[in-house]
Structure 1
Amino acid sequence: MSQRWSAPSGSVTGASSRVMAPRSKTRIVARERLVAQLLEARRKRCIVIQGPAGCGKTAALVAWREALLPLGFDLAWLTLAPEDDDLASFVGGLVASLAQVDPAICREAALFGGRGVDDEAVERTVIALVRAIASRSGELALVIDDLDHLTNPRSHRALQWLIDYAPPGLHLVLVSRGATPFSFGRLRDQDLVLELGMRDLRFTFAESADYLRAQLGDVSERDARDMHELTDGWVAGLQLFALHLKRRKSASDTPRAAEANDLADPLTRAQLHDARAFGDYFERAVLSRLTPSEVELLVRTSACARLCSSLCVALVGDEHPAGDVLALLARLETDNLFIAQIERVGNATWYRLNPLFRETLRERFRARSETVQRAVHHAAWCWFRDHDLPEEAVRHALHAGEAAAAADLVLAVARDLQVAGDLRKLVALLHLLPQAEIEARIGLRLWRLQLELYARDFDACAATIARLDADIPARDTRERYRLTLLRAAVDAQRDHADSAMASLPQLLAAPADADSIAIGARNNLLSWLYMRRGEYDHARAIQHDGTRPLIGGAPLMGTSAGVLNGRCLVGYSYALEGEFLQVERISREVLAEADQRGSSAAEAACLAAALLGEALYEFNDCAGARRLLEDRVDVLERVSIPDSVLRVHTVLSAAHWAQGHRLDAFACLERLEDYASRHGLPRLLAHSLAAQVQRHLQCGQFDAAEADLARLDAKAARLRPTRPDAWHDVHALAERAHVSWCVAHEDYEGAALRLPALVALCAERGWQHHVVQLRLQAALVDHHRNRADAAQQAALAGLRLGHRLGLVRSVLDADAGFATNVIEFAEAVARRESADAVLAFYVDRLRAARDAAAIVSMPKEKALERGAAASATEALSERETRVVSLLAQALPNKKIARTLGISPETVKWHLKNIYGKLGVSSRDEAVARVRDLGIDA
C-alpha cells in the first residue's frame, strides 16, 4: 500500500512562493512619479511594463500595490519561472494566484484541473475565471511578473484569451524583460492600455541623486550627475556604484572623489546599463569577499528556486555550521540586497535570490563536476521529500539522476492529490517523469489511465486498458481489481451500460485487501449499473448498506468514489422514478457541501446541480433552473457523467421554451447533439433528436420534424442488436416522438395504437413521471376520439399518480401539440369527481402554476423596455452585430463559430456581452431588440 502523504500544518506549498507579491521593503527613493503614473492608470484594462533586469519593475509594482490596497483594489501576483513554460503549470499558477485573493474566483476553473490541457479546456478555464471575476464587486489587479519565461505559443494563446475576455473589473499587469507577443490593438484604440518602457522606468537625475545620497551620504551634484549619466538612470547600475563605494568607504576614513573614477572606468567599458555587467560585479564585489565555504553555500543554493535555512544546511551537509548559514542569509538580506524574503511560515523564513545573482551562481554550479551537481540535487530532493513538497522533490530527484526514486514518490503521493482534488498537480508530476519509469510501474500506468479518463481520451483509455490487461499478473488481485473499476468507469463515461454490465461479476468480487476507496468506487458504479437496469431500490441499498470509504478514519466525501457522489446517485435513482421531492432534498444538501469542498467534490457538485435543476424545472421554477445551470454547463461537460450533461441541456431547453425563448431552446438541444456526437453517445443524441422533433412540431416545422424523426428511428434500429440497455431508452423516445407526430397531424387513432405499449414500457422501467404524462396524453387522445369514459379513467390515473409524486411541469407539458388545454381538461375531470377534494386541490395547484408560467412567457415588450436605456457608448461592435445576425438565422454557437472563424467559447463570450448591452437575457430577445433599434443585422 502506498504511503500516506499529507502536507504538515503550516507548510508552504510548492506554488505559494510564486503567487505571492514580494515583501515590501523601506524604499530609499519613493518613485512617486512612476507610482503616480501607475495609479492614474489603475482602471485601464492592461498595463505592460518592459525593461531589462534591475530597472526597478518589481519594486515599483510593490509600491503601487501598497497604494492600491487603501483604494479598495485586490491584487493577485504570479511570478513566472522557466518551468512555467509548460502550459499546465502556467494555467495552474494563474488559478492559484487568483485563489490567493478569493478562492471563489477559482472554484469553477479549478474543476478543469487534470481534465486535459487541450485548447478548449484551457479556454474554458480562462472563461470560468473571467466570469467569476466579472461577478465580483470591486476591482482586481493581476500582476504577471517575469513574463519572458513564457515562450510556449499555447501559453501565449491562453494569456491572450485572458486579455481579450477580461471584464472591466480585471486589470492585467504584464511585466517582462523583452517584447511581449500579445495583441493590444483593440485596447489601444479604446485607450485601455498603459505601456511603460526603459525610458519610463529609469531614474530621473533627481531620483538618482536622492538614491546616491541616501546610500552614500554627501555626494556632490557633479558626481551624482556623472553616475546618473553613466548608468542612464538604470537602477541596478546605480546600486552597483553605491554598494561598491560603500565597501570602499568602509575601508578608508577619507573617501576621495577618485574612488568614483576608479569604479567608473571598468563599469563604463562594460556598458553599465547592460544587465550583463552584473555577472562581473558579483564575481568581483560580492563573491570575492566571501569565504570559500560561504561561496560554496551560495553556489549550492542556486540549484533551488527558493530556500530557507534548514534547506541550506541540508545542501552543504556537515561542511557548514547551521549558525553560520543563518548569519550569511541575514547578512546578504540586510547588506547586499540580493536576496529577498518570500514569506515566513512558522519558524522558517523563505528566501529567493535575486535572479541575476542566482544566474551568476548557477554558472559556477554548472561548472562543478556532475558528481557534485547530482549530490546537491540529491540533498535537495531528500529535503523537499521529507517536508512534503513533492513537486520540487521530483524535479530535484530527476536532476540527481534518480528517476526511479522520483517515480516512486509520485506513486506515493498520487492518491492524496486525487483525494484533495489537485489533479492538475498530479498531471504535472506525471509529465515530469520519463516514460520508461511510468511503464515500469503498474500503479503509475493505472494513474495515467485515470487521467486519460478524466480528459475524456477514450481511444487512449482503450489502448491503455488492453496493455494493462496483458501486463498485470493474475496474482496481483488488487491491481487487477483497480483495472476492473477503471474499465467500468470508462464504460460509465461512454454511457455504455451494456459493456459495464459484463464487468458486474468482477465488480462484485472485490479482493479482501481492496482499500476503502476501491470499495467506494465499486459501490457507486454498482448503483449506476442497477439504475440503468431499472433496479432503483437495489441501487439505493448499495449506498445505504455498503461499506463507507474512509480516509484517515473519516468518510471520503469527494472524488468519484466518495460519499457525496453516492448520495447523488441515490438522488438520481429518485429522478428516474419521478420522485422529485426526494431529488430536491438530496441534491440541495449535496450541492451545498460539495461547493464548500471545491475541486475534490467536483463530480458530486455537477451531478447535484443537474438533479436540482431538473427538480426546479419540474416544480415550475424555470428561472431558478436557468440561474443554477447556465453558468455550470461548461464544467459539467468536462467533469460529469453523460447523464448529468443530458439533464442539464434538456432542462435548460425546456426552461427556455417555457419562457418563450425558442432560439435558446433549440440551441441547448443542438449543443447536446454536438456533445453526443463528439463523444459517441447515441442515447444522448436520441434525446436531443426526440426533443427537437417535439419543438419542430410545436412550431409547425413538419419537414424538420420528419427528418429528425427518421434519424431517431434509424438510431433505434442500429442500437437494438448491440446495445439493448440504450435501446430501451431510445425506443421509448422514438415511440413518444411518433405519438407527438400523430397528434400534430390529428391522427388520434395512430397515437392510440402506440400509447398502451409505451405506457407499459415506462411502467416496467419505473419511469413514473413519464407514465403520468403519457396517461394524460392518452386521456386527451381518447377525448378527441369521443371516448369519454376511457379519457376520464386515464386522466384520473395520471392525475392521482402526478399528485402523489408532486409533479407540475410533467403535467403542464403533456398537452404539447393538442388542441385541448390539459388544465381545462383536468378541471373537467375533477368536476366529475366532485367528492375527491385531494384531486381538486391538485388541479388548483396546476392551474396556478399554468397561470404563473403564462405570465413569464408573455411577449417580451417589458424585457425590451429594459434595454431602451442602453447608452450610445454601449452600441454593438461590428463583430457583435455579425453574431446577432447569425443568431437571427437560428444558427447554433458552433456554426456561428465556424462562420466567423472563432471558437465556440468566444461566441459564448460575445453573447454575454451582447445580452448585457441590449438589456436582454436570451437569443430571441436579442434578435428582437436589434430589430427594434433598427440596427442592420
Structure 2
Amino acid sequence: MKAESMMAMTGAEPVLPRHESQDGRFSAAPLMFHFRPVRTCLVSAILQRLVTADAKAAMIDLIVAPNGWGKTVAASQVYHHWVEELKRPGLWLGLNRANTGSWALFTHLIARLDRVVADARGSPTPAGAGIEQSCPSHLAYLLERLPRPFLICIDNADYCAGNPESGDLPDFLAELVQTAPAGVHLLVTANRPTGSDLTAARLNNRLWLHGTADLALTEGEARQILEEGLHPVEDTTLNTLIARTEGWAAGLRLGRLLLDHAPDGATLANWLSGDAPDLRSWFDHHVLGAIPVETQDFLHHASLFPHFSAAQMAEVAGIADAPRHLSMLLDAGMFIIPVSAHEQTYRFHTLFLARLRSEAEQRIPAARRQECHRRMAQWSMRQGAWQTAIDSAIQSRDHGFISTVLEQAAPRLVQDQGRLQAYMQIVDDLLAQGISLGVEARYWYAFALSFQLRHASADTQRRRLADLLDATDPGHADFSHRLAHLLVAFAFLADDIPAAGRHAQAWLDAPTAKDPFDRGWVLSILAVHHLMSYRFAEARECLRKAAPMIREAGSPYLTAWCELIRGTVSIYEGNLSKARQIIDATLVAAEQSMGPEAEICDTICSIGSKCAFEQGDHLVARAWLERGLRSMDRHGTVGSSAYAVETAIAYWNGDETALSFQRLETLIGTHAPRLALTFRCLVARRLVQLGRVQDAEAVAREIDLDVRKAVLRNHRDEQPARFRDLLVMISIEVLHGRGDHAGSLKLAERELRRAKHEGRMLRCVRLELTLMSISFQTGRQPGALRHLLAALRQAERCGILQPFQNHRAVIAALVGSLGQRLESCFPTRGERAFVGGVLDLLGLDEGLSVPQPERGCVALGALSEREHELMQLVSSGMSNAVIARLLGLSENTVKWHLKNVFRKLNVVNRTSAVRRFIQDA
C-alpha cells in the first residue's frame, strides 16, 4: 500500500472537502473523513466553553500541532456540532495551499462574510458609508453585523503569507483577533506557530492555546480507534500501540489499519516504529523533506540521547549553531516534546525517535557515536543527572569508562536520590555482561539489595566486597567501618530490630571517622530501635543528633527518611494532627526533590495512609494506600508495610476471594514472618468488627493465639512491642465479641494503664471505647458514658476520629439516653466543636430518639466488594459525580449500585443507608 493513500485513510491527509474556491486555494466546508472521529476531551472542552460563553467578549481557540495530530478533525467536530446540532451560524475557511497570500485570504474572507451578513439581513450589504471593500475597516464593519453568537473556523492558518506585490496588510490573524467583537468566536488551527501578535487577547484572558499535549488521545480515546477494526485486539497489543504512538491520532489509525491485515497483532505492535516502511515514507515526505541538510544532522545527533537542549548539543555533539537549529525545528512544529521548560530540554516523539535513530546509525560513524555518548555522560555528571550519565556511559561500550562513571554516580543515585530499584537493575545488567564493579559501586549495590528485600544477595555482595578490599588496595583499610554500617542496615531491613540496635550502637561508639550520610543513617536506625520499644524521648534524641549529619550529607533521601521517622513517632504517640503535618510536608518535599516515583515516597504513603485513615480522611487514605502497596513487594521495611496492611484490612469487607485481599496476600509473601503474622492478626480483628466472631476465633487458633493470655503459644522469642500490642487488642476484641466480658475487661483495664504510662493517645482512645462498649453490654451505663467522655477528650487533642465509627451503635444509645446535648459535657469551645464533628461523622441527630443496639455485634449484610467500597465513599460525603470519577464509572452505574445497596440494607434513601452502613460497620 502506498504511504500517501494509507495515511489518507488514517486521517493525516483527509479527502477533498465538499466545497472549494474556484482556484482551489480555499475550502468552504470542513473536510470529510473515511472514519468516525472520536469525541476527544479537547473537543468537549471547546464546545463547553462555546456554549457557556457570555457575549461580553470574543473567544479565540488556537490549535498548533504538526501533521497527523488531529487538529483539523477536532476543528471539524466543533464546527459540525455548532452548525448542525446546535443550529447556530458559523463559517468555515480552510487554506489548502502553503504560501497563500494574505491579501487573497483577506479578500476571500470578506466576500464570505459579506454573503453571511446579506443572508442575515435578507438583502445585499450596503456598499455605502464610504467603506472600501476588502480592507481592514470593512472587515470590522462586517464582523459587527454578523448574527450572534457566530463561530469562524480557519484551518491551516499558517499557510497564509504576506504578499509584497500588493503591499503588506497588517498581520491577518492578529487583525482578525483584534477586530472580532463580543459574541464572534474564532477557532484557528496551524501546523506551526503563526508569528501573530496575540498578546492583547492573552492578557485579556480571551485566548486559549492548545498543542500536541491537548490533542494527544487519552487511553480511552485511543482504545475507541483501535477497537474499530475488523478483528478484536488483545489488551496487551492495545497497550503497546497506545504507548508507542503517545496519543498521536494518525499513528493510532495506522496501527489499527495494519492490525486488520496482520496475522499476529502482538508482533505488529512491537514492530511498529518510525522506521517501519510506511511511517518512514510519511516522515520523510511530511517532516524531514523541508528540513535543511545541516539541521537534519542536528536531528540525527540529538536522537542519540533521551533528551536534549541547545547548550548540550553544542558541547556534546560540537554543533556550533545548535540554538538556531533547535529554534527552527520548534518553529516548524516538529515532533519535539518539551521535557523541562525551565532548562529548555526536549525529547522526540517515540515513533519519530525510532525513525531518526535508525538513520543516525547509518550516517554517524560508530566511533563518533561512542565519543558523543562519553561526552554526554560527562555533561550529565556536571548537571547532576546521574541516571542519564550511567545510561550514556553504557551506550559508549567502554567498560573502563562505565566503571569510572558508576563509581561517581552510585552514591549520588542511591544515597541522594533514593533510586535503589533503578540502580540495582543497572548493576544487575552490567554484571550479566561481565563488567566489573569498583568498591563504591559494589558497596551501594549491597545497600540497595538490602532495601529491595534481597537479603541473601545483599550479604553475599558484602562478603565479596570484604574479600575485594582484603586482596587489593590497602588504602581502603578505613572502609571496614562502612562494612560494619552495612550490617546495621541488613539487620534492620531483615526485621531483626534488637540486633540492628546493638550493631548501630557499636558502630557509633567505634573511634573511626564516619561519613555524614552513614552516621545519619545509623542514628536513624537507632531511633527506630527505640521507637519500637516506645522510648519516644530516646528516639527523638537520636533524630536530633542526626540533624546536622543530614544537613551535611545533603541527601534528599536521608532527609525524607528521618522526617518520616519523626512523623511515625507522633503516630505511635497518637498525635495524628502533628504526624499528618510532618507526613504531608515530607511527601511534598520528597516528590519535588526525587520525583513521585521514588520508592521512599511509597514508604511515606504507606505510613501516611494509616494516619489519614485514623483521622477519618478516607479519600487521602485510599490514595496513599494504593501508592504504598504498589512497591511493597520490592521495597520497604516490615514496619512501614505493616501500616499499609493495617489500612487495607480496615477497608476489607470480609470476602477472602476479593482481588484486593488476594493481592495483599501475594504482596505479604515476600516479607519477613512477622508481617505475615501481623496480617492474620489484623484479619481476625476485622472479622470481629464485621460480626464474624467465630471466624475470628478460627484465625486466632490458626496463628496459635491464646486469647486469655494474649500471647502466641510456642513462640518463645520476645515480640516487638507493637506486635505484642496487636495480639493484646485482638484478644480483648475476641473475648468481648464472644461475650467473655470479664476476660476482656481485665485485659483492657491493664492495657489502658500501660498506654497512659507510655503516653500513647491513639491506643488510649481505642481502649476507652472498648471499655465503654464492655460497660454498656454489662449494664453499667454511667461507666460507659465516663469512658466515652474520656475518649472524646483525648481524641480532640490529637485529631483522632476513625475509632468512634467502630462503636457507633453504643455511642448512639448513650447519646439518646443522656438527657442533654453531649457537647454540653465539655467546657471549651474547641472540645464542643470536635464532639459535634464526631456526631456529624456518625450521622447522629441528638434531637431524635436512637434505638438501643442489640447485645452483640450487627452484621453489615451481603454487600459486594464494590458496593462496600461505594458506601465507604458515600459515607465520607462524596457526591455521585465525584464517586463516578474516582471509580471510573458513569453516574448512572453509581445510581444503579446505590439502588441495590438500599435494597440489601432495607432502607429508602441515601441518608438512611449511610447511617445503617456506619452503624453495622
TM bucket, shorter chain: 0.5 to 0.7
CA drift at 1:355? 8.3
Residue 634 in 1 paired to residue 626 in 2?
Answer: no
Does the CA contact (< 8 Å) of 1:377 and 1:396 recur in 2?
A: no
Matched residue SS, 2:561:
helix
SS in 1 for 2:216: strand
User: Compared with structure 1, are the counterparts of its residues 509 and 915 closer, same or farther at alpha carbon in structure 2 (3 Å cutoff)?
Assistant: farther
Matched, 1:777 2:784: no
Q: How many residue pairs are counted as aligned between the two chains?
A: 650
Quote how far apart the aligned CAs of 1:531 are.
0.8
Residue 375 of structure 2, aligned match among 379, 383, 396: 383
SS of 1:644 mapped into structure 2: helix
1:64 corresponds in structure 2 to 68
> For residue 4 of structure 1, what is the aligned residue in structure 2?
none
Query: Which of 646, 666, 676 matches 1:650?
Result: 646
Q: Contact between 2:237 and 2:265, CA under 8 Å: does it hold in 1?
A: no
Q: Which residue of 1 aligns with 2:457?
A: 460
Amino acid at match of 1:853: L
> In the alignment, does 2:664 pair up with 1:586?
no
- What is the Cα deviation at residue 480 of structure 1? 3.9
1:568, 1:586 within 8 Å by CA — same for their partners in 2? yes
Hey, what's the Cα distance between the residues in 2 that align with 1:808 and 1:573?
19
Contact 1:616–1:624 (Cα < 8 Å) also in 2: yes
- Between the aligned partners of 2:276 and 2:380, the Cα distance in structure 1 is 45
How far did residue 644 of structure 1 move?
A: 3.4
Aligned match of 1:140: 216
From the superposition, tell whether residues 708 and 637 of structure 1 become closer, same or farther in structure 2 (CA, over 3 Å): same
Q: Is the 8 A contact 1:568 1:604 kept in 2?
A: no
Give 1:503 deviation, angstroms. 1.8
CA distance in 1, matches of 2:812, 2:905: 36
* 1:416 and 2:412 aligned: yes
Is 1:675 aligned to 2:670, yes or no? no
Q: Matched residue of 1:173: which SS?
A: helix
Q: Residue 543 of structure 2 contacts residue 566 of structure 2 at CA under 8 Å; is this kept in 1?
A: yes
Note if 1:405 corresponds to 2:380: no
CA distance in 2, matches of 1:921, 1:681: 43
- Provide closer, same or farther for how the CA distance between residues 185 and 442 of structure 1 changes in structure 2, counting only shifts above 3 A: same
Alignment of 1:696 onto 2:687: yes
What amino acid is aligned across from residue 893 of structure 2 in structure 1?
A: L
AA in 2 matched with 1:849 = V
Residues 515-569 of structure 1 show CA distances to partners (whole Å, capped at 9, x for unaligned) of 3322332233222222112111221222234343467x7943x21x12x332221
- Aligned-partner Cα distance in 2 for 1:610–1:679: 16
Give 1:919's aligned residue: 894
Q: Give the match for residue 732 of structure 1.
A: 725
1:849 matched residue in structure 2: 838
Cα distance, 1:691–1:744 mapped onto 2, change above 3 Å: same
**Partner SS, residue 251 of structure 2:** strand
8 Å Cα contact 2:446-2:461 kept in structure 1: yes
Provide the C-alpha distance between the structure 2 equivalents of 1:173 and 1:532, rounded to a whole number of angstroms: 56
With over 3 angstroms needed to count, the CA separation of the structure-2 counterparts of 1:541 and 1:701, relative to structure 1, is same
In the alignment, which residue of structure 2 is the partner of 1:446? 443
Q: Is the alpha carbon distance of 1:41 and 1:315 closer, same or farther for their aligned partners in structure 2, counting shifts above 3 Å?
A: same
Over aligned residues, Cα RMSD in angstroms?
Answer: 6.5
* TM-score of the aligned structures, taking structure 2 as reference length: 0.54
Query: Kindly tell me: are residues 71 and 378 of structure 1, through their superposed partners in 2, closer, same or farther at Cα, counting changes over 3 Å?
Result: same
1:706-749 per-position Cα deviation (integer Å, ceiling 9, x unaligned): 21111233596378433x243x4333323322222222222212
**Partner of residue 173 from structure 1, selected from 251, 265, 269:** 251
Q: How big is the shift at 1:393?
A: 7.0
Shift of 1:762: 4.2
Match of 1:810 in 2: 803
Q: Secondary structure of 2:704's match?
A: helix
Equivalent position to 1:597, from 583, 593, 607: 593
Deviations 1:865-884 (CA, angstroms, capped at 9, x unpaired): xxxxxxxxxxxxxxxxxxx9
CA contact (8 A) 1:772 1:801 kept: yes
Of 684, 688, 696, the match for 1:705: 696
Specify the SS of the correspondent of 1:591: helix
Deviation at 1:477, TM superposition (A): 6.4
Trace 1:176-255 onto structure 2 (pairs within 5 A): none
Alpha-carbon distance between aligned partners in 2 of 1:646 and 1:741, rounded to the nearest angstrom? 21
Query: Which amino acid in the other structure matches residue 821 of structure 1?
Result: V
Task: State the partner residue of 1:896.
Answer: none
More displaced stretch, 821-830 vs 485-494: 821-830
Q: Which letter does structure 1 place at the counterpart of 2:733?
A: S
Distance 1:703 1:580, change over 3 A: same
What one-letter code is carried by the residue in structure 1 that aligns with 2:519? I
C-alpha distance 466-626 of structure 1, shift in aligned 2 (>3 A)? same
C-alpha contact 1:565 1:603 (8 A) present in aligned 2: no
Q: Which residue of 2 is the match for residue 523 of structure 1?
A: 523
Q: 1:489 to 1:910 in 2, by over 3 A?
A: farther
Distance (whole Å) between structure 2 residues aligned to residue 239 and residue 803 of structure 1 = 65
User: Is the contact between residue 610 and residue 645 of structure 1 (CA under 8 Å) also seen in structure 2?
Assistant: yes
1:64 alignment partner AA: G
Q: Deviations over 1:240-281 (max 9, x none)?
A: 9x99xxxxxxxxxxxxxxxxxxxxxxxxxxxxxxxxxxxxxx
Greater percentage in helix: 1
Aligned to 1:282: none
Task: Indicate the SS of the match to 1:589.
Answer: helix
**1:625/1:855 Cα in 2 relative to 1: closer, same or farther (>3 Å)?**
farther
1:569 aligns with 2:568: no
Contact (CA 8 Å) 1:526, 1:542: kept in 2 or not?
Answer: yes
- Map 1:699-848; keep pairs closer than 5 Å: 699-713=690-704, 717=712, 720-722=715-717, 724-726=718-720, 728-760=721-753, 762-763=755-756, 766-778=759-771, 780-782=773-775, 784-785=777-778, 800-813=793-806, 815=807, 821-822=810-811, 824-825=813-814, 837-838=826-827, 842=831, 845-846=834-835, 848=837
SS state at 2:595 partner: helix
Structure 1 contact 630–652 (Cα < 8 Å) conserved: no
User: Equivalents in 2 of 1:578, 1:841: separation in Å?
Assistant: 18
Letter in 2 for 1:387: W
Q: Find the aligned partners of 1:174 and 1:693 in 2 and give their Cα distance.
A: 50
The aligned amino acid for 1:546 is A
1:622–1:911 CA distance, 2 compared to 1 (3 A): closer
Structure 2 residue aligned with 1:433: 430
How far apart in 1 are the matches of 2:279 and 2:799?
72
Question: Amino acid of the residue matched to residue 173 of structure 1?
Answer: G
Structure 2 residues not aligned, in runs of 5+: 1-11, 17-30, 42-63, 78-211, 223-233, 267-271, 846-861, 870-883, 908-921
Cα deviation, residue 573, structure 1: 0.5
Going from structure 1 to structure 2, the CA distance change for 1:782 and 1:509 (only over 3 Å counts) comes to same
Once the two structures are superposed, what CA deviation does each residue of 1:106-159 show, in whole Å capped at 9, x if it has no partner?
xxxxxxxxxxxxxxxxxxxxxxxxxxxxxx996534899xxxxxxxxxxx9976
Name the TM-score, length of structure 1 as normaliser.
0.54
Number of the residue aligned with 1:283 = none
Amino acid at match of 1:852: L
CA distance in 2, matches of 1:910, 1:725: 44
Structure 1: gaps (5+ residues): 1-29, 46-59, 74-135, 145-155, 189-194, 204-232, 244-285, 291-296, 317-321, 367-372, 857-883, 892-908, 933-937
